[in-house]
Amino acid sequence: MFEKFEKIVERFNDLEKQLVDPNVSRDRNNFEKIAREHKELSEIVRTFHDWEKLRNKKEEAETLLNEGDLEIQELANEEILEVNSKIEKIELVLKKLLLPKDPNDEKNVILEVRAGTGGLEAALFAGDLYRMYIRYAELKKWSIEELSRSENNLGGIKEGVILIKGNGVYSRLRFESGTHRVQRVPVTETSGRIHTSAATVAVLPEADEVTLNIQDKDIRVDVYRSSGPGGQSVNTTDSAVRITHIETGLVVTCQDEKSQHKNRAKALKILSAHLLDLETQKQNAERSSQRKSQVGSGDRSERIRTYNFPQDRVTDHRIGQTKHGVMSFIEGQIDEMVDSILSSYEAERLSDFEENNV
């Protein structure tokens, strides 16, 4: 494994030489590409040098074991034990740094919440989830832009779509995709009976403008008058936009803006994210020889979590973990669960890495 790090150090040194080369700096795009790779490798190289220093320190201590002085040998043994502990920790870090990164990790996300089975209660729960992710984004100091929202008369939503921007947004939210289930007494229930309803969440990395080039011939655009809760018309002009991607059959609608132009732009942004997601899923399917991760594939049909209000608990079924304090969770306090899921995912990737590098 450490031969790989030596090659990485060679590549890093080569990149440093290129960064100070006047000929390279003249090509701005190439220079930025080199600078990004240099930055990505810098942490690996720095950690590897720290590991080398510890290995040298251990070798120096081991030479003292051959000295005749018992006191020196005792100190050397203590030094070796301490250094071994540090080496073990830093080697774990190095293995993590060698794991291939998801190219979408640093991207912004388009997050969609849709009501599933359960009628009005499902729409109310979808509204709760929608606001939960908005509050979580606010706690993380991410920026939020609402792209589309379809409400019902009780304050629930049939569908809500937001764009969340910030550092590492996709890497934090990627495993929120799936079916979320709620067990509680709905506000519409008069007999106190507990209902089970569901809503689906899709977390899509935002597509760069250069990633996908959607041409007019690839889509069909329909315009119509926007409507509010209950279907009543809320606009006297045909400002709502429905875009159909002809090849895939994907349909995206947007009616939140009074401007048809703005609704079209938002709908295209959502459509681009869906097309990128389809391409990503296709690539993942081509790697089907790899075993499926415990935390899931991000399939929206997969039931991932249950919010049980009577028992005040939230259970993530992928990692078998339960947290109490369902109201705090709904208020956006989901970091602890997100950390647990990411830790489980990372542990599986490390296990695969070690199996393939024995």
Residue 287: pLDDT over 50: no
| Fold (topology level) of 2-98 | Methane Monooxygenase Hydroxylase; Chain G, domain 1 (1.20.58)
pLDDT of 296 reads 52
With beta carbons less than 8 A apart as the criterion, state whether 138 and 131 touch: no
Is residue 276 very low, low, confident or very high in pLDDT (cuts 50, 70, 90)? confident
With beta carbons less than 8 A apart as the criterion, state whether 134 and 40 touch: no
pLDDT in tens, 52-78: 999 999 999 998 887 768 888 888 999
Q: Which residue is it, tokens 């760069």?
A: 208
Rounded CA separation 312/319 (Å): 19
Rounded CA separation 245/222 (Å): 12
Is residue 356 very low, low, confident or very high in pLDDT (cuts 50, 70, 90)? low
Same fold, 2-98 and 109-346: no
CA angle 305, 201, 352 (to 5 degrees): 65
Coil, helix or strand at residue 222: strand
pLDDT in tens, 221-236: 988 877 665 545 455 5
DSSP string for 149-207: EEE-TTS-EEEEEEEEESTTHHHHHGGG-EEEEEEE--TT-SS---EEEEEEEEEEEPP
Mean pLDDT along residues 18-30: 89
pLDDT in tens, 88-114: 999 988 888 888 778 888 889 999 999
With beta carbons less than 8 A apart as the criterion, state whether 285 and 278 touch: no
Q: Which of these, 251, 231, 228, lies nearest to 241 by C-alpha position?
A: 251
pLDDT of 290 reads 42
Q: What's the CA dihedral at 246, 250, 256, 257 to 10 degrees?
A: -30
Per domain, the residue ranges of the chain are 2-98, 109-346
Residues 6+ apart with CB under 8 A from 299: 177, 178
pLDDT in tens, 296-350: 544 456 799 999 999 999 999 999 999 999 999 999 999 999 999 999 998 888 8
- The DSSP 8-state label assigned to residue 118 in this structure reads S
Mean pLDDT along residues 130-151: 94
pLDDT in tens, 252-272: 888 877 788 888 888 888 888
Rounded CA separation 242/255 (Å): 9
Residue 124, amino acid: L
- Write the CATH number of the domain with boundaries 109-346: 3.30.70.1660
